[in-house]
């Protein structure tokens, strides 16, 4: 995959399909591959642009604390590099949703719609960092993967996953083995979350906004999405009973993709 040079980092990205651009921004420790079940669906309908922000995947991982402005500006830099002239549809999950909020606030003229998945206007990352440190330093691979599953997905999905060895092993490889995010990377990226607070600015987001979250999210409780909906004027909130933090991209992905597409389609030229 190509690399884009931005200031002191190289940013790994993919660009697929044709049509209006949909930009995908993933969560704290996740890579482009976290959109595996979304990219084939949306690339048939529009242009897909996804990137590994600094600190994950195949992008540079400099060892210093990152800021939201760094993530926002490298995303804008990539769009300029790709000569994207159309307004974008911007979708982010978890930390990616925080970056998306800050992007929409800093570059409102470039955003047509906003899709915020399992995210927040304000969040203390320390509890998640403590859990991540415990997984990395205290648990073996299998136990660490189980801990991640428990915090990310519904019990019913985990049960189904364990009955499908091929899918189970594929997900373990993507989450734990394939170019893994290091503890140092989690810490540097989480510094941006510590500085993230859009609570007093959400009323300025005027773009049509779709907010989606699971009611059983253990990492960013559902109330955070309700707050976003209350403060963003032109927003819709979709709740998913029993879904955990990572469920939206994996569990019943076809239904979720359809819901997102139905929202985006209403705002195409």
Question: How does pLDDT run across 142-186, given as a tens digit for each residue?
Answer: 898 899 889 899 889 999 889 988 888 888 888 787 888 999 999
* Cα 238 to Cα 258: distance, rounded to the nearest angstrom: 13
Phi, psi (deg, nearest 5) at residue 115: -125, 115
Question: How does pLDDT run across 190-209, given as a tens digit for each residue?
Answer: 999 999 999 999 999 999 99
Q: Given a cut of 90, is residue 136 above it in pLDDT?
A: no
* Cα 50 to Cα 202: distance, rounded to the nearest angstrom: 24
What pLDDT is stored for residue 139 in this prediction?
86
CATH class of 3-265: alpha beta
CB-based contact 98:122 (threshold 8 Å): no
Burial of 221 (0-12, 13-18, 19+ CB in 10 A): middle
Q: What is the pTM (predicted TM-score) of this model?
A: 0.95
CB-based contact 198:122 (threshold 8 Å): yes
What pLDDT is stored for residue 231 in this prediction?
98
| Domain boundaries, given as residue ranges, for the chain | 3-265
Provide mean pLDDT across the span 115-141. Answer: 93
Q: At a CB cut-off of 8 Å and minimum separation 6, what does 70 contact?
A: 54, 192
What confidence tier does 12 reach under pLDDT thresholds 50, 70, 90? very high
């Amino acid at each position: 995959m190509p690399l884009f040079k931005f200031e002191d980092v190289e940013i790994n990205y993919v660009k697929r399909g044709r049509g209006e651009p949909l930009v995908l921004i993933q969560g704290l420790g996740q890579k482009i591959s976290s959109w595996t079940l979304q990219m084939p669906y949306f690339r048939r309908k529009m242009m897909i642009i996804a990137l590994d922000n600094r600190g994950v995947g195949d992008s540079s991982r400099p060892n210093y604390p990152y800021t939201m402005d760094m993530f926002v500006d490298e995303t804008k830099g990539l769009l300029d590099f790709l000569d994207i002239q159309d307004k974008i549809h911007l979708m982010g999950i978890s930390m990616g949703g925080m970056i998306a909020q800050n992007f929409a606030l800093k570059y409102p003229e470039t955003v047509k719609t906003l899709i915020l998945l399992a995210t927040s206007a304000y969040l203390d990352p320390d509890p998640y960092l403590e859990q991540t440190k415990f997984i990395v330093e205290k648990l073996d691979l299998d136990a660490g993967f189980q801990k991640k599953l428990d915090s990310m997905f519904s019990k019913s999905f985990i049960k189904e996953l364990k009955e499908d060895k091929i899918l189970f092993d594929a997900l373990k490889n993507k989450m734990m083995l394939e170019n893994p995010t290091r503890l140092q990377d989690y810490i540097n990226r989480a510094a941006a979350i510590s500085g993230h607070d859009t609570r007093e600015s959400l009323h300025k987001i005027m773009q049509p906004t779709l907010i989606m979250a699971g009611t059983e999210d253990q990492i960013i409780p559902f109330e955070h999405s309700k707050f976003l909906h209350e403060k963003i004027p032109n927003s819709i909130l979709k709740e998913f009973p029993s879904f955990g933090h990572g469920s939206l991209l994996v569990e019943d992905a076809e239904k979720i993709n359809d819901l997102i597409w139905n929202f985006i389609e209403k705002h195409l030229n």
